[in-house]
Structure 1
């Protein structure tokens, strides 16, 4: 359903100027904090971190965050924020799994917001994330409920028109996650190209790495 990969480098400089995008990241962060209750000893992976809106919201609550993205442009924006704020517990890493890069490290918690619909093989990604989590490590993924392809103005780089929560729960289980739960994390009114404002919902799905 999608064309070639979207050029997120070109979008990076103005990414944070969208107030709806910023609010959604804060809503997702609030849902993760309320559900996971991150602790000061936690090492966290943020997969598909973009400009770090979620990363920086979670940063005060945990020991370290490794912010991973395939777009160097996005990471450059986040690096500038890290430097400006003098943060010592946030590091960035460029990982493009379509180019053969691997996820590495060991984490207590992996989070991801609005990234899975840009991933061709989400089952593989869940397997890779499970592989870098400690025993009983946690996962928290936020993404769109099924949206009939109407959320994005262009489907460039979009491989899923949102997700059915039941099917996503099955994918979590197939990757070895247990105690899988979901909730609504954000509600997004968004005008389409036709001028009609539609309401989209973002779920938060959580689970724990099984034995």
Structure 2
């Protein structure tokens, strides 16, 4: 049986400013109610778009930007394996602790945490079967990513990498992130948490163009759900607990590798 010990790389980009913020936030990440709610809503959107249990149970899944594994651990019972990758080592440490003996998810044996910035679809770090612990040369049936795209400077490069990790002809990508609906979308993050934020949401047109451009077919980008989230009463005031509730629509981006 595979060990839940996290695998790490020595890529210096892992220690960038954005990841420093996530390393600092990792211990308290799961206590944020808006993060929990967004993950639950995303999970429901994923399941409604994925194959039936008889097929999904055979899937080997790659998650990009898994954080502390909130979505990973919801999906794990429905799939064969899940390789959970995040560039922030602090996040992977939390997930690894959950999966370790005595952890809250010690019974889960098909999730493999990996601390890495994945830029090469053939990177050996993702070429280990989470179930057996043995090296494999296969491709993934599904790649998922939630609330990651707005942190990525070059989305085309990311989706090119994702495409390369998928099985030709059948492999699918499904991602979720909040929509850029105008200037107010900036309020999704408090001003003190802007490190690593590359854009204030994504747009339907941009994502369709990117997915098609890197080699995906059956591309579909649509609103999947709306998250109600407290924001600062005024930008920079830091009073998220007391601020107004705003609605943030989320886009679900799908495609199949040619």
TM-score, structure 2 as length reference = 0.75
Contact 2:37 2:227 in 1 (8 A): no
| Number of the residue aligned with 2:226 | 187
Contact 1:29 1:57 in 2 (8 A): yes
1:11 corresponds to which of 19, 22, 25: 25
| Number of the residue aligned with 1:150 | 187
Structure-to-structure mapping, 1:1-211, within 5 angstroms: 4-6=17-19, 7-37=21-51, 39-83=56-100, 84=103, 85=105, 86-97=107-118, 102=123, 104-105=126-127, 106-135=139-168, 136-147=170-181, 148=183, 149-154=186-191, 155-194=194-233, 195-210=243-258
Distance in 1 (CA, whole Å) between partners of 2:43 and 2:214 is 24
Coordinate RMSD, CA, aligned: 1.9
Unaligned residue ranges in structure 2 (runs of 5+): 1-15, 128-138, 234-242
Query: Which of the pair is proportionally richer in strand?
Result: 1
Unaligned residue ranges in structure 1 (runs of 5+): none
Distance in 2 (CA, whole Å) between partners of 1:190 and 1:87 is 31
Note the alpha carbon deviations across 1:21-80, whole angstroms, 9 max, x for none.
111101111111110126111000010000111101110110000000001110111112
Report deviation, 1:107: 0.6
Task: Tell me which moved more, 109-118 or 36-45.
Answer: 36-45
Larger-Rg structure: 2
Distance in 1 (CA, whole Å) between partners of 2:38 and 2:224 is 8
Report deviation, 1:192: 2.0
Distance in 1 (CA, whole Å) between partners of 2:118 and 2:95 is 20
Distance in 2 (CA, whole Å) between partners of 1:185 and 1:75 is 27
Distance in 2 (CA, whole Å) between partners of 1:152 and 1:161 is 9
SS at match of 1:76: helix
Contact 1:46 1:67 in 2 (8 A): yes
SS at match of 2:187: coil
Report deviation, 1:96: 1.9
Task: Tell me which moved more, 130-139 or 179-188.
Answer: 179-188
SS at match of 1:142: strand
Distance in 1 (CA, whole Å) between partners of 2:58 and 2:67 is 24
Report deviation, 1:4: 4.0
